[in-house]
Amino acid sequence: MATKVRKQEMVSDLREVIGGGKVIIVTDLSGLTVAELQLFRRKLDKDNAKCHIAKNTLIKIASNDGPFASVKELAKGPTALVIGLDDPAAPAKTTVNFMKDLKKGAIRGAVLDGNVISEKEVKNLAELPSKEQLLASIMGGLDSGARNIAGMLEAIIRDIAVLSEEVAKKNNAA
């Protein structure tokens, strides 16, 4: 049994991680082995996300203030929090795919921008492209636009060169 001091440390740690989060996905990871849980945490690390398992009372105390206060609505039964620190779509995608592959665990919902979203909405969030993919798409669009402008300018310069050459030939002939 955790001592009062240890519980205060756990609440403090949770508050710190929750405070830097963009999204909190509330899951039930019961049934996962230690090895599966370690693998899940490693995958989340790549997405700049963390997985915290704590008692619901400690989760409720840690999230009492701030934009994630509504996480207490979802914290019932065995609870694990997946806290996305950067891109909300990436940890959602990793969580959904990991649970689908293992056929273990459950998503209860999430808190995004202070609003509770359902399991279905978390799955929809997981289908969105990642932040990196969106940035690459935008840059590709900008790059192709710049290439088109450069091509048009090159064509204009080429036309002017051809025109000036024709005028020079005409003046030499006359």
Percent of the chain scoring above 70 in pLDDT: 97
**30-63 confidence digits (pLDDT tens):** 889 999 999 999 999 998 899 988 888 888 888 8
- Report yes or no: 128 and 169 within 8 Å, Cβ to Cβ: no
Number of Cβ atoms within 10 Å of the Cβ of 45 = 12
Q: Annotate 11-40 with b (16+ C-beta within 10 A) or e (fewer).
A: beebbeebeebbbbbbbbbeebeeeeeeeb
**131-150 confidence digits (pLDDT tens):** 777 778 777 777 776 677 77
Confidence band (pLDDT; 50, 70, 90) for 69?
A: confident
Average pLDDT, the chain: 84
**Predicted local distance difference test score (pLDDT) of residue 43:** 92
**103-125 confidence digits (pLDDT tens):** 988 899 999 888 888 889 888 88
User: Model pTM?
Assistant: 0.72
Average pLDDT over residues 66-81: 85
**CA distance linking residue 28 with residue 79, whole number of Å:** 5
**Predicted local distance difference test score (pLDDT) of residue 95:** 92
Tokens for 150, please give them: 């450069």
Tell me which of 109 and 159 has the higher pLDDT: 109
**Predicted local distance difference test score (pLDDT) of residue 98:** 92
Average pLDDT over residues 21-29: 89
